[in-house]
Structure 1
Amino acid sequence: MDRFLALNVFIRVVEANSFTRAADSLNMPNATISKTIQQLESHLGIRLLQRTTRRITVTPEGEAYYEKAREILNALEEVDAAFKTSTTNIKGHLRIAVGGSTARDILIPLLADFMAAYPDICIDLAVADKPSDLISGNIDCAIRGGVLEDSTLIARKIGEATLITCATPDYLRRYGTPAYPDELKNGHRLISYLSPASGRAFPFRFKHNDILTEMKTEHHLGINESNAHIAAVEAGLGIIQTFTYSLRNQLASGEVLEILRPWRPASYPFYVVYAQNRHLPHRLRVFVEWLNDAFSGAVK
């Protein structure tokens, strides 16, 4: 039995909570994963996992072994990182979760610089507006905005985006240009962004003289994906609130116009989040540091 491989397999099964997902992430057959776990349990003389047709449960002994195994692998990665003096020696895979419009408008245009600096790091982007579970999804880090709910993750603020209220000139000719937020309730067509997690519409938010207000009003169109949300305002279907970075070119050309500027919503924070490991893999550390420098200026 390859002890090092067995540690990696066991850790991946626990973190993915699935033999199949562990096999996919390690690019190994399911049968090899199962056999490796059986060999490890036989070698230790203890049961690490309780397996049924529906779920995997980590035994108390398995939990203790997982903590020790994770410490060992983290320490090995730290030793490797300490002796790497060139960025070309930093290698491996990074799996990054990011929302649709943030991937399209911010992260992907920036990635060329990172990939040129670290050519041996391979990146997989998990693009979806619904927040991913980092552990079960085998995700190294995620870019998230707004209020963070998962307190078990490390969160590092990487920038603040400007939110605006906007519509096309054609829409404003047809329905009029509101001078105050309350006028949105009178005959205007609102395009709401729906939470991909809950399905509820995010309210339109405004800030004026340091006073924050929320407007919960009936929308004419609700969309739960950020790229489609942007496409709807470009099509002249109504008024939206979104990030300036998503409509930078359209605002510059006049295809979309900002309205209610004195009531711009408060800035929207973005974070990079990752699991609470004592030692970050070197490839993740350099990505987080690079993102901290590059992201802030791009979202303004």
Structure 2
Amino acid sequence: MKTVLFLLSMMFGAASIGAESSKEHYLFVYFTGNTTTQQQICYALSSNGVDFIPLNGGAPVIASDTIAIMKGVRDPHILRGHDGWFYMVATDMDWTKGKWSNRGIVMMRSRNLLDWEHHTVDFHERFVGEAAAKVNAVWAPQTIWDPSVQKYMIYFSLHSEKKGPYPQDAVYYTYANSDFSDVEDVPRLLFSYPYPTIDTDIVVDESGMYHLFFNTWGGPDGLLRRQYTFVDLYDQSKWTLVEGRMQPNDIASEGSCVYPLAGGSWMLVYDCFESGFCQFCRSDDLIHFELVKNTSTTGTFTPRHGTVIRLTQEEYEVLKQKY
């Protein structure tokens, strides 16, 4: 039981398990499209975890040209830290400059979700002389607290030219430094898979089991969302691959985010990039998912690949008043 409580505290932050139940609102952080003006960080709020209302009239709340080398960001991931900080990472990229125009990530942290410290990590400069300096894509970074080393682990997919060190997309990890302004070491492979892998999301359930969701393509079944379950984050030989697709239909999708609902179940949201909307699916066991809602293809809330965290009433009101 002590192990379970420790893992939960690491996943949800410094607040106690009881305090977590007070977080009955939700913040969705996302970008909206492939033009330069759409590759910005946007916020939306919800009181049930599925019906979101965009803040700031749907306009960005953080301008990419103030935080990113490429003046555009995609795939923002937000995490409530265990230490009172909120952490955000994003792909430093402008799609209009080409699919392989991404050389690094943006790292950010905030105490209040309003004011963000920000730093960029250009892999070509940061890892001179290493294989990681040859990447042309560092996609969809995400952060998780690793209690085994007492550090924030950042994981992402890497890709290079076909004759380079990363000819096939695969997921790697490194650790953030103490003030979340840089990464500490050369990326290491998190897990291997026969086909390209991107857009990985890791959550921990109440038993302490990790659930790792990822996208893959190129195999006999085409584009798939798959899942591993495990208790050892670094020993793939002990991981279990869950059979089947982790969504209830065959729509091409990417960028999954799984988050706990206040009622005790879970929500999976993913970007149906070819169809122009996101889908929300509910699960009681993180294995079986049922479609709940599609976002609209028009209007002010048209999210692309993003993430959701739970908020307190006070945090919810602060954001509503600000934006």
The structure where strand makes up a greater share of residues is 2
**Fold similarity call, TM over 0.5:** no
Higher helix share: 1
- What is the TM-score normalised by the length of structure 2? 0.24
